[in-house]
Structures are given as C-alpha cells and as structure tokens.
C-alpha cells in the first residue's frame, strides 16, 4: 500500500502550528448521510440551499460546515430535526450557541455579517437558539471524499471518543490540512489540533471546560490568519500562558514571506513576534492523490516583549 499524505507528513515531522482553518465564527448544520467532497452541495442537503449558505457566508468571517453524529451513516435523507451550532472564537467575545431546527432553510434568515462580528442576536430570533451550556464540542474531520486520511483516521477517532462516553463529539466535513489527520476543532475557543489521539483530545476538552488551551499538537486558533496563529501559540509557550482568552493577535504587519505580529495579553503586555514563511522540505503531497509540493510552514524566528515606552510611542 502506498503511503498516505498523513503518513509522510508524520514521518517528516512537519510542524502543525499555523495551519488551522481561518474563521471568526463557525456555523454548523447537522446533515446525516453521505458527504461529497464539497459537502454543502454534495450531500442530502438541498444543493440550492447549500449554494445559498455559501453565498451568504462569503466575506463575512463565517465558515459553514456540516456535522453528523459519530458512527455508521445510513443513507437517510430527511432527519426530522437537526442540531445547529454557531460559535464565535475571538477572545473577549467567545460564545457557543445551539438550536434545533426542522427546516434548515431557516439558516438563511441569519444575519451572517453580524455573526461574523460576534453578534449572535439573529441566532435566537431566527432559529430560537440560545447559549450552549453543556460540554465543549469536538469536531473530527471524517470526509473521505476530500481525502482518504480523514476517513481512515478521523472516523475511528470519532467513534472511539463517542464510545468512551465523551460528550459533544461530531464528525465534520472539512477542517483543512488533510496531511495532519486526524484533525479536530474544539469549540467554543476554536483551536484546531493535528495528528490527534483519543487521550489527547480528552485532555484538550478537559482544558476547554476549564477555560484553558492545550498547546501540544495545536495547529492554531481559527480567529487568526496563519502568521497570527503561529505567533500566538509561540507566545503561549514562551511565557507559559494557557488561559483561553488571555491572548489576542491585535496587529499583523508585512506580507509573505515575513510578518511582524503583535500579540497582546489581557493584562496589557505585548509581544512582537517575527514570523517567516518557509517551505516544508523535502517535497511531500499536501493531500492524498496530489502531486508532490512544498507546503508553506510558519516559522517563528523572534519573540520580544514590547516595552511600555515603545507601546506608548
């Protein structure tokens, strides 16, 4: 059997930091049954609705994905009711709301720009939703139509977590970074993890329950673009700060292949983080079936705390 993209990435010890999907707000709709590669328009969801949701979310900071319960998926077509979640991941205004709908077209009544700004109002008025008071969510990418690694590695992980009694486990259509499978997104805080194992996911969920971020295996927080993801994780490691909403990426100067990222602490401290875009060598497939390439990697080359004088200036 030929090597999968995740096998090669693991063997080459490719770094995972700064590789998470970017979304300030996640909107998740339950859709059982099979998923195609572009699941919003290739599942048992009405493809016209899928296209309309894609259009409504475009440019708003909202990322729409489909979810389903872990386990076997009968080819069922119309669930009587569906779970819907919305999560805003920007520190200082992190929230996770839930609703149950019988007509998924009601999602088009949402104010997508407002959701992207972190304003959940229409989630309540349009869907009757409210704050999710239960355990954090663990979304495991299992869409084998996008990449076989997500099915081969993601589905067993989701099943193992669910079978061991972990609450809030869902399969999800796409988190990017197939070569880091199994990949997991944890909400409400929006941090993604690569090469995940069940015991590690349980630790991450326990941390999220306590308002704490686990940095081992972390790909980054989805609230930030990729240079910011790498910079924020590097500051967490450097100063030993693991409180979930303690750090924010407040400024990113420069352009590929080099940025200066300003990371701010809720207590007023700031750090200037130099991030360089490199190429992962030797060449490897970014996903199964793709040609060999050199995926971009985010390397933190310098961290320095900004003085109060410099901040004032």
Contacts of 92 by beta carbon, 8 Å cutoff, 6+ apart = 245, 248, 266
Gap between the Cα atoms of 122 and 133, Å rounded: 19
Residue 293: per-residue pLDDT: 67
Strand ranges across the sheet with 296-305 = 247-255, 258-265, 270-279, 296-305
End-to-end CA distance of the chain: 60
Gap between the Cα atoms of 224 and 140, Å rounded: 20
- What the block records as the tokens of 144 is 């084998």
Record the pTM: 0.91
Which of 183, 245, 258, 248 is closest to 219 using CA atoms? 183
19-30: average pLDDT: 96
Phi and psi at 122, nearest 5°, equal -70, -15
Q: Is 305 exposed, middle or buried (0-12, 13-18, 19+ CB in 10 A)?
A: middle
CA angle 158/296/192 to nearest 5° reads: 25
What average pLDDT is seen over the chain? 89
Lowest-pLDDT range of 66-70, 123-127, 231-235? 66-70
Residue 290's alpha-carbon distances to 22, 175, 178, in angstroms, are 22, 18, 11
Contact 55, 110 (CB under 8 A): no
pLDDT in tens, 89-126: 999 999 999 999 999 999 999 999 999 999 999 999 99
- 143 or 27, which is more confident: 27
7 pLDDT band (50/70/90 cuts)? low
Residue 15's alpha-carbon distances to 76, 141, 150, 177, 180, in angstroms, are 39, 19, 18, 12, 9
Gap between the Cα atoms of 143 and 152, Å rounded: 10
Q: Is 128 exposed, middle or buried (0-12, 13-18, 19+ CB in 10 A)?
A: exposed
80 pLDDT band (50/70/90 cuts)? confident
Model confidence at 250: pLDDT above 90: yes
Residue 178: per-residue pLDDT: 64
Which residue in the block uniquely carries the two structure tokens 């990113």?
A: 252
* Bond before 279 cis per omega within 30 degrees: no
Work out the number of other CB atoms within 10 angstroms of the CB of residue 121. Answer: 11
């Amino acid at each position: 059997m030929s090597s999968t993209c995740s096998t090669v990435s693991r063997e080459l010890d490719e770094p995972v930091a700064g590789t998470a999907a970017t979304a300030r707000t996640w909107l998740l709709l339950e859709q059982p049954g099979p998923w195609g590669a572009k699941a919003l328009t290739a599942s048992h969801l009405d493809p016209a609705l899928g296209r309309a949701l894609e259009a409504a979310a475009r440019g708003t900071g909202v990322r729409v994905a489909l979810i389903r319960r872990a386990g076997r998926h009968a080819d069922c077509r119309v669930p009587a009711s569906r779970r819907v979640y919305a999560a805003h991941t920007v520190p200082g205004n992190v929230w996770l709301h839930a609703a149950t709908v019988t007509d998924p077209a009601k999602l088009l009544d949402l104010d997508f720009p407002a959701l992207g700004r972190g304003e959940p109002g229409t989630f309540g008025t349009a869907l009757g939703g409210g704050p999710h008071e239960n355990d954090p969510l663990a979304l495991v990418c299992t869409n084998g139509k996008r990449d076989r690694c997500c099915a081969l590695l993601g589905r067993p992980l989701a099943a193992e977590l669910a079978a061991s009694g972990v609450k809030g486990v869902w399969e999800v259509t796409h988190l990017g970074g197939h070569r880091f499978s199994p990949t997991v997104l944890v909400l409400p805080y929006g941090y993604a993890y690569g090469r995940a194992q069940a015991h590690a996911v349980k630790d991450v969920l326990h941390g999220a329950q306590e308002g704490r971020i686990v940095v081992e295996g972390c790909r980054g927080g989805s609230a930030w673009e990729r240079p910011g993801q790498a910079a924020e994780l590097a500051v967490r490691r450097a100063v030993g700060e693991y409180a979930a909403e303690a750090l924010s990426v407040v400024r990113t100067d420069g352009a590929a292949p080099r940025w200066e990222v300003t990371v701010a602490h809720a207590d007023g401290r700031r750090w200037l983080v130099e991030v360089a875009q490199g190429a992962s060598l030797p060449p490897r497939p970014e996903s199964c079936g793709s040609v060999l390439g050199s995926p971009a990697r985010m390397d933190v080359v310098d961290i320095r705390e900004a003085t109060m004088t410099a901040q004032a200036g």
